[in-house]
Structure 1
Amino acid sequence: MELRIFTEPQQGASYDDLLAVARTAEAAGYGAFFRSDHYLKMGDVDGLPGPTDAWITLAGLARDTERIRLGTLMTAATFRHPGPLAISVAQVDQMSGGRVEFGLGAGWYEEEHTAYGLPFPPTGERFERYAEQLEVVTGLWNTPPGETYSFEGKHYRLTDSPALPKPAHRIPVLIGGLGPRRTPALAARHADEFNLPFADAETAAQQFARVEAACEAIGRDPGEITRSVALVVAIGRDDAEVARRAAAIGREVDELKRNGLAGTPAEVVDRLGQWRERTAVTRVYLQVLDLADLDHVEFVAAEVAPQLRS
């Protein structure tokens, strides 16, 4: 089971804060550093110094790190036009030497759209736009060099695009969410990885089964799609350290043990084993909310990750 670091910088983080976590994660041997794509804080925090743009951040990290993979959970389709988005992500991939992974979602947080003047269509239209964006972005990347790409959709139209620049490698596409019909169908068509954030194992197992069925319906091998989850973490050497880390992010230990990953390394390894047995996940995104606690990142890499590899 692979562990990755997942951050929520809209809650309050500068680029330098994110760089410190990314470099710590890289040195500790994590598989990837991911961040959310949000423009507004959530909950009772001040969010200072204010939001950072996901792809500008990843462009910086592409040059300021060397090996760790980089990506988003999830870029909102409501934030960007798919043509320029394909250009931005391909450029960041080139800047990183082929280390980018691309998570795309429909967008859901209405308040951030209102705060920054972004259109927030009804759910049905957002999903239509999301589906078209997946077609356009991957279509532009996959167009052979020297050929052009055109697309005629309900919301987006591209004519004779040169489909440049090309990414440095084939960028993995991540899709996620709990929609029972359209989401699994889109995953079957486009996803290299299907991610479920903050769900319980039973719910996750049911959704993974829907994705598997959607793959089989179009003749795709479901084993081609990596299964992953995102879970908030508070892991410590003893109960006191676990409690301190939970309190630092405004959570209760018992609640985190039910809904996330909390406890000593032995407790967390056991819980991840239960996840693997129930859902067949092979990748876990550890949501690290206290970005100043770099010891937390290093401790999990040293005490939890080796037990998952053995």
Structure 2
Amino acid sequence: MNYGHALRFGLHLPSDADCGPGRLVEVAGLAEQWGLDLLVVPAGTVGDDLGPSTVASWIAGATVSLGLVLEARPATLHPAMLARAVASLDRLTEGRVEPAFRAGPPTAASGTADSVAALGEAIAVVRELWNVLDRGLGRFTGRFYRLAGAEKAAPAHDVPISVDGQDQDLLRLVGLRADEWSTGCDAVTLTQGNSAVDEAARGAGRDPREIRRRVTIRGGFDERTGGFTGTAAGPARRSRPRAPSPRPYAAAAHMIRSGAIGWFQLRPVGGAVADVSADATAYAHRDANFSLVVTGDVDEVVDRAWVRLSPFLDGLCISFESSLRPERIAAAWPPRTLSRLRELRSVYDPEGVFGDNFALTPAANHPRRKHPMSDYGHELWFGSFVTPTARPPQAPVELAQTSERAGLDLVSFQDHPYQSAFQDTWTLMSYVAARTERIRISGNVLSLPLRPPAVLARAAASLDRLTGGRVELGIGAGAFWDGIVAMGGRRLEPAQAVRAVEEAVDVIRGLWATDETGPLRVPGEFYTVNGAKRGPAPAHRIPIRIGAYRPRMLRLTGKIADGWLPSLGFLPEGPASLRAMNEQIDEAASAAGREPAAVSRLLNLSGRFTSGAGGGLLQGTPGDWAEQIADLALQYGVSGFILASDESADLNLFGHEVAPRARELVQSERVT
């Protein structure tokens, strides 16, 4: 039967975890160059493939006119969040996005019935949140999903919803509710499926011609005859085992070919040193079999090449290392060795004269030290905190590009999915990643109650691989609980929220740990992972920072986090609050066997630049700002300063004038 629809042609994007960003851009560019209509981003296999929403958003930022079909499984993420993500990406691309939903796996008790019923509810939730013609709040009550007064936000165009699959219950759902049926099957099955869809549509009072049909064909062109050979097919089946991903020698070869380094030396660590305990000497990790020495001229270029190889190495020697970040210090020395070296430094080098050589801060409160430790010795970096406004959708993208041009190190976005005036933060981050080249990207902070940690782990690792290691993770326990509940989330008491964050971090890090054998199992109270396949691994060790203000969350930050991310405006006594809050983090870190310096301290800032003398904290000239920021670094150990502003002029002043002057002041004070 001819349904009368205009023909559309597209490509199915390869998205396995080994597929580098260059290959993805190449495929998307070819599809656009050939004048194809669609690029299908597959849902893929957890652990093997990149996250589809992240890939689609990233590809959207790298293309101009290509339509994008995003395959998604609402069973893995609340459909309200999918609705936000698709609407945000559709606005960013001016109407180039379509979702294709797949049902979740059938249950033993009910087979496919429950999974198809849940998919039907998911479609209803998505359409409810897109229906801004009905000016009320979004409400829906079903067996699987619930909306309790959520704000609505429409996409840029009337987005069709496709459903993929061949099960009879699912075909009936297509006829009842979908705009398109997507499948990969032979001609006979396709004819039978069309009949089932048509019958269900007529039963619901719909014209079957309203429902488009899309089929995936797998095959190729014969080089000799130029003819096409292939068949319609279902999801791809790998015919041979996949190669290990990625291999150390491939990462090493990439580093050598990159031109980033001038010296690459691999040598055995033999003789007596191989028998010395790693904790018995300042040169730790002497129990290793081999050592690798890499040098280069430009720190940033070497670091970018290094991130692909570092996951295969155990330990680090940083006597001559260009970067002194806390995570590198933690990798260089086991905790007991690091503690002992700090004590020795307190006795023999309390002023840190040899800081550039050993990269260690003297121990806190040592008898020979004049003042308690407040400066953790971290390198300073600077970032922006941009509002993810939905109108106009390109405004935060342009501010991210301004941040990069201003020399800032990071651009971050708040995450309030229940705010219809905001774009979906992860979609925006992925899109911005494709529109920038150097700047790091983070949520500030991501709302865990609405972002399941298993899905977040895969999305973060995917984006980190696509960007070559530019992703950082800021997470929060949740604050605006009425909005969270309205979007279908669960309201938690403060103590529950703290436990939920700890479980989430366990899940995220567990899924990233692809070097560990066996699937991940986390029998949590709030997040349960029962045999999930690990992976993909991120391109570098993504730091996890926690937004925390109260004692329990501060103690958790010291116990498990890589960084603390508060906002200056929410500190009860302003900067003076930092000392006591730092002490709580430090005590918890020490109790967990960690160095307090392993937890970096960040601070969201806001203020006003003036041409003359200011009237208080961060109210003055760029020079005034630099001096006050230097004091925050030296007195309270803050090393990451993030300016909350949507003004390009402020970001330029912060990056071009404040940041370099503050670094000079801190470095000068540390040397003297």
TM exceeding 0.5 = yes
Residue 173 (1) aligns with residue 544 (2): yes
Q: Report the AA paired with residue 609 of structure 2.
A: I
- Of the candidates 651, 656, 660, which is equivalent to residue 306 of structure 1? 660
Matches within 5 A, 1:272-287: 272-287=629-644
Q: CA deviation at 1:83?
A: 1.2
Q: CA deviation at 1:308?
A: 1.2
- Of the candidates 17, 38, 42, which is equivalent to residue 416 of structure 2? 38
- Of the candidates 407, 414, 422, which is equivalent to residue 51 of structure 1? 422
Q: Report the AA paired with residue 34 of structure 1.
A: S
2:608 match: 234
Q: CA deviation at 1:174?
A: 0.5
Q: CA deviation at 1:13?
A: 5.0
Q: CA deviation at 1:23?
A: 0.8
Structure 2 spans left out of the alignment, 5+ residues: 1-379, 665-672
Q: CA deviation at 1:270?
A: 2.4
Contact kept? 2:386, 2:644, Cα under 8 Å: yes
Q: Alpha-carbon deviations, 1:217-273, whole Å to 9, x = none?
A: 12211112211111113224347xxxxxxxxxxxxx86xx35xx2221122122213
Residue 5 (1) aligns with residue 359 (2): no
SS in 1 for 2:649: helix
Q: Alpha-carbon deviations, 1:36-91, whole Å to 9, x = none?
A: 111355xxxxx7xx221111111111211111000011111111221111111111
Residue 117 to residue 157, structure 1, CA distance change in 2 (3 Å): closer
CA distance in structure 2 between the aligned counterparts of 1:307 and 1:155, rounded to whole angstroms: 46
1:19 match: 397
CA distance in structure 2 between the aligned counterparts of 1:195 and 1:223, rounded to whole angstroms: 15
Q: CA deviation at 1:146?
A: 5.8
SS in 1 for 2:473: strand
Residue 209 (1) aligns with residue 583 (2): yes
Contact kept? 2:622, 2:653, Cα under 8 Å: no
Residue 287 to residue 98, structure 1, CA distance change in 2 (3 Å): same
Q: Where is the helix percentage greater, Structure 1 or Structure 2?
A: 1
Contact kept? 1:15, 1:52, Cα under 8 Å: yes
Residue 113 to residue 171, structure 1, CA distance change in 2 (3 Å): same
2:447 match: 76
Q: Report the AA paired with residue 422 of structure 2.
A: P
CA distance in structure 2 between the aligned counterparts of 1:217 and 1:127, rounded to whole angstroms: 18
Q: Alpha-carbon deviations, 1:3-51, whole Å to 9, x = none?
A: 11112325x654411111111111111010011111355xxxxx7xx22
1:160 match: 531
Residue 36 to residue 106, structure 1, CA distance change in 2 (3 Å): same
CA distance in structure 1 between the aligned counterparts of 2:391 and 2:457, rounded to whole angstroms: 26
Q: CA deviation at 1:143?
A: 3.7
CA distance in structure 1 between the aligned counterparts of 2:636 and 2:543, rounded to whole angstroms: 21
Q: Report the AA paired with residue 633 of structure 2.
A: R
CA distance in structure 1 between the aligned counterparts of 2:415 and 2:596, rounded to whole angstroms: 28
Sequence identity of aligned pairs in percent?
Answer: 26
Q: CA deviation at 1:100?
A: 0.3
Q: Alpha-carbon deviations, 1:102-134, whole Å to 9, x = none?
A: 011100112422443433222232222222111
Aligned length in residues: 281
SS in 2 for 1:211: helix
2:567 match: 197
1:297 match: 651
CA distance in structure 2 between the aligned counterparts of 1:72 and 1:158, rounded to whole angstroms: 24
CA distance in structure 2 between the aligned counterparts of 1:287 and 1:233, rounded to whole angstroms: 8
CA distance in structure 2 between the aligned counterparts of 1:154 and 1:118, rounded to whole angstroms: 15
Q: Report the AA paired with residue 159 of structure 1.
A: N
SS in 2 for 1:101: strand
CA distance in structure 1 between the aligned counterparts of 2:464 and 2:430, rounded to whole angstroms: 8
Residue 88 (1) aligns with residue 462 (2): no
Q: CA deviation at 1:207?
A: 0.7
2:622 match: 265
Q: Report the AA paired with residue 531 of structure 2.
A: D
Contact kept? 2:623, 2:661, Cα under 8 Å: no
CA distance in structure 2 between the aligned counterparts of 1:53 and 1:233, rounded to whole angstroms: 26
Q: CA deviation at 1:2?
A: 1.9
Structure with max Cα Rg: 2
Residue 155 to residue 301, structure 1, CA distance change in 2 (3 Å): closer
Residue 36 to residue 13, structure 1, CA distance change in 2 (3 Å): farther
Contact kept? 1:237, 1:264, Cα under 8 Å: yes
1:108 match: 479
CA distance in structure 1 between the aligned counterparts of 2:400 and 2:596, rounded to whole angstroms: 31
SS in 2 for 1:98: coil
SS in 1 for 2:404: helix
Q: CA deviation at 1:135?
A: 1.1
SS in 1 for 2:565: strand
CA distance in structure 1 between the aligned counterparts of 2:449 and 2:398, rounded to whole angstroms: 29
1:224 match: 598
Q: Report the AA paired with residue 642 of structure 2.
A: Y
Structure 1 spans left out of the alignment, 5+ residues: 42-46, 240-252
1:248 match: none
Residue 146 to residue 215, structure 1, CA distance change in 2 (3 Å): closer
Residue 183 (1) aligns with residue 553 (2): yes
Q: CA deviation at 1:144?
A: 1.6
Residue 125 (1) aligns with residue 496 (2): yes
Root-mean-square deviation over aligned CA pairs? 2.1
Q: Which deviates more, 185-194 or 82-91?
A: 185-194
Contact kept? 2:388, 2:428, Cα under 8 Å: no
SS in 2 for 1:196: coil
